[in-house]
Each structure stands twice: as C-alpha cells, then as structure tokens.
Amino acid sequence: EFVTSSSDHQQCPAADRPEVAFIGRSNVGKSSLINMLTSRTKLAKVSSKPGKTQLINHFLIDDTWFLVDLPGYGWAKVSKAEKEKWGAMIHDYIKERENLINLFVLIDSRLAPQPVDVEFINWLGEEGIPFSIVFTKADKQSKNKTQSAVAKYKKHLLQFWEKMPHHVITSSTSKQGKEELTKYITELVKGGN
C-alpha cells in the first residue's frame, strides 16, 4: 500500500524496516516494473511523459518492508534548477537512509551503455552503496539482442569493476524476471531484518 511521498529524505517514514529502492533514467519502465512486482496495475503511476515521479514514494509491502520509487534521472524536460534539486534529494536519500538494503538501478536493455548510467553505477560503487542492475524492456527486442546488449554492458562495466554487479533481465509485459527478482528481494529483506 502507498504510504507517503517525500521531497526530502528527512521526511521519509521511520527507518524501522528494511527498504529497497528503484531508480533509473526517465522512461526506463520503473513504474511498470514496480506494478509487475507487486501484481498491482496502478500502484505506481505509469506515464508516457518522462519525469513523472518527482518525489520519494514509499510503499509498504506485506507490512514488513518498504519499496521506494525514486525520481528518474537523465533527460526529463525540467529546468536545470529542478534537476539539481532532484539530484540533491536522490543523493541525500541514497547516502543517508540507514535502512536502505539495496538500490535497484534500472537500465533499458535496448540501449548501449549510457554515460549517465555508468557514472551513477560507479558512484554507487565508490560510496559502497549495495545495488543491483535491472535490465528492463526485454520484450521489446529479440532474446539474442537482449543477451548481446547485456554482454556489451558487462564488458563496459568490467573496465571499472572486478566482476559484474548482480543483475536481472526483466519485462513488465511478459513478466520475465518477476520470479527471480521477487525471490532476490525476499532474501535481501530476510537478511536485512
């Protein structure tokens, strides 16, 4: 169930249960993925217009953990001042939220590695933030193309990383990756209690 929207990490609910958050560039399919994972069609608002999520949205799952929908980063058509405000809000949340057990970084599986994503992933590594990569929209191309794109990503990241961070390939349309991701989150939450 939806709990609250916050414009600042200090307004977030009490950090009394494990929390996993989802983030990605505008239009990466974040809301669709959250809806798929929770089997609810309208829990997170899906928009064809990028930059719809502008606040930190908390959802309580099974009364035991929080799922957090963070604003997208990247090219949403907003002013520079707005972008900076969001950037600071996201940055502070990620660094200061003590019950955050994992950040899921969503990547469009159809795209070549984007500098903004790679920079963000490397920053998480430098800061020691636990995270996983979720490749989205796998249904929008052939399985071979998705595998090839993920392999390219892996190769690119291995310039900076000793091994590829944990990752899952998903499709909100075909429900690909739902079981794997749900199981992974369940294990994280059990370990984070």
Domains and CATH numbers, the chain: 2-192 (3.40.50.300)
Would you tell me how many other CB atoms lie within 10 Å of the CB of residue 81? Answer: 8
pTM of the prediction?
0.91
Would you tell me how many other CB atoms lie within 10 Å of the CB of residue 57? Answer: 24
DSSP 3-state assignment of 183?
helix
Would you tell me how many other CB atoms lie within 10 Å of the CB of residue 143? Answer: 11
Cβ atoms of 177 and 184 within 8 Å: the answer is: no
Q: What is the pLDDT along the chain (193 residues), one digit of tens a residue?
A: 889 888 888 999 999 999 999 999 888 998 899 999 988 777 666 555 554 557 899 999 999 999 999 987 765 566 677 667 777 888 899 999 999 999 999 999 999 999 989 999 999 999 999 999 999 999 999 999 999 999 999 999 999 999 999 999 999 999 999 999 999 999 999 986 5
What tokens were used for 186? 């369940």
